[in-house]
Structure 1
């Protein structure tokens, strides 16, 4: 039995016992985890330094290094996110609806865990803790498959959380990490349907496409973030400039950063020069269509791949458009349905954009950087779902629950079938 199947089987067995713990128990366990993370900062940072060093030696991109890197501030944010999740309302076991149909059965739709949640992800040690806290809060067991680039960080984080769980009476293996670097084990993860209830991929497009294509168990698809911002002709110039700089520069290596700006021709004629100065000041490299490139010789000529690309760097595609309709058509063609934004003072343009753009999150006069479970008040997030079934957008606690119908009767039967006659009185 390989490591994946062994740990998946253990997770399934534990998932049944997690129903023995109530909301107070789950909160206590999460607080214990947050305390343990704060008490073991130096051990975590030492492990993380090994991962960062190894990745740099392999020539990994600066964007991935940024996602991998931990420091005191980021660790404190991770610990605080666990506390935030602990403090959220616990809806497990609540009755969503109760009704009595004509057959006089009493039917209650209740909130229950999914069971075993498995997540496969790349270069994000914070995901190790975020997923665990959300899964435990919703009564799920969790099986993690991080990338080899974060193995030292993940091993230490999981070990610390397991010890903290034991101290509060939870099974140590409520959270488990697949430690072997053997990539063939991923195939076992894809087919462990009898043990794993849902598989969630977080990472680049290639990883997500592979999981969606090959997994034989239910998948919640999180998508790459080819996010667009359309600057309408009626956009306030300084507001637009500030939003663009935030969405591209504040942290370019994450999935909710802006990758393409679409400029209305009239706005560009009056304001693009100032926006160019802003972007140049921050070291952003532009890739533009012929109309955009005509504004400056520092703009590289874009090709088809630039409209499709999730740069995750200080690169930005730019296209000049004649109307909101043209901008929306471009988004419809190239969007990954993650986060899209419009900047305008025209309410009609805003309404059209909100209605026509198909994405998990659509913004008006705000940066796309807010598509995040923490920013939405979810405490942390499982990921950003770009699909439409079960969960969409930043996934918090609700995304890790399902429902169960509890039906009580007084002897109702569907038919009126006779018995044999041998009935003891």
Structure 2
């Protein structure tokens, strides 16, 4: 398509904002991102990265590849048709899934939508519980509507005509235009919407619910219409089943059993940690009493209770625990008792040779370090 730059609104670095005449790129709206594409001329090339409505004008954001945008310049527009088609399918799929969900549970209401190129989502207000059984049923019914190849028609109506449209769902507080754009799925749904849509439901493709999260009354359900993502989920599940060594209908039970075992082990470990005693090497160092131990392969949370007990029982204690890994790098904990005036954060900051990364307070720091114990002794002035 041939067009011209009607106005250059801004120009900075590689970016620019322009008005195009005509503008073949659909602006963002209705939860759907704008079209993307390219503008080309003999001496100019730019990517269209965003289009948004500002005071009724479609402001087009460009990323300049070469040349300069000039008012009156004649260009060729190349919209990204694959991007537009995918968002169109996603948006029509959202209408179908939203209508099905609202019909499955009384009081369930879609409050917001987000259309993406890989996954899209609907935000739900619902005082009850949302779970996989509900979502599997919604997914199945949505696919049935898609398979029925229902006609999708876009009507441009006056506000009066729109209000009289049978079964129309509209957020009238957000509709300020004289013309109301109504998207009708034959015999199924009618929705006031400024997004792009397919001509028939069969074009939507493979609707697949990927996730949900939240708690009553605020929920989010994520879905896609891209079969490649379904393939990815299936491949991951088959690899998992191979590793676990069980049939697909038992994987949830295996997971729940392993989760319960993990929680039990965590409780056991926590009890053991509270009663753990470390074999300190203790040394009188004038201003403080040094307690040191090196525990290769241990973690900071495992030794922390023992460190806490040591500094609480000995006000003059300066405790250093190093847990080096296979290549020397590993967790550390350094803490001091109440009678030691030693800012441990300043100590670490002043000794970069320790290779310590972490944080904490003036009396307790932890993280990961690379230096062996002799370098720590030297840094401590021992």
TM-score, scaled relative to structure 1: 0.22
Identify, as 1 or 2, the structure richer in strand. Answer: 2
Instruction: Say which structure is richer in helix.
Output: 1
User: What TM-score do you get using the length of structure 2 for normalisation?
Assistant: 0.24
| Larger-gyration structure (1/2) | 2
Bigger relative contact order, structure 1 or 2 (CA pairs below 8 A, ≥6 apart): 1
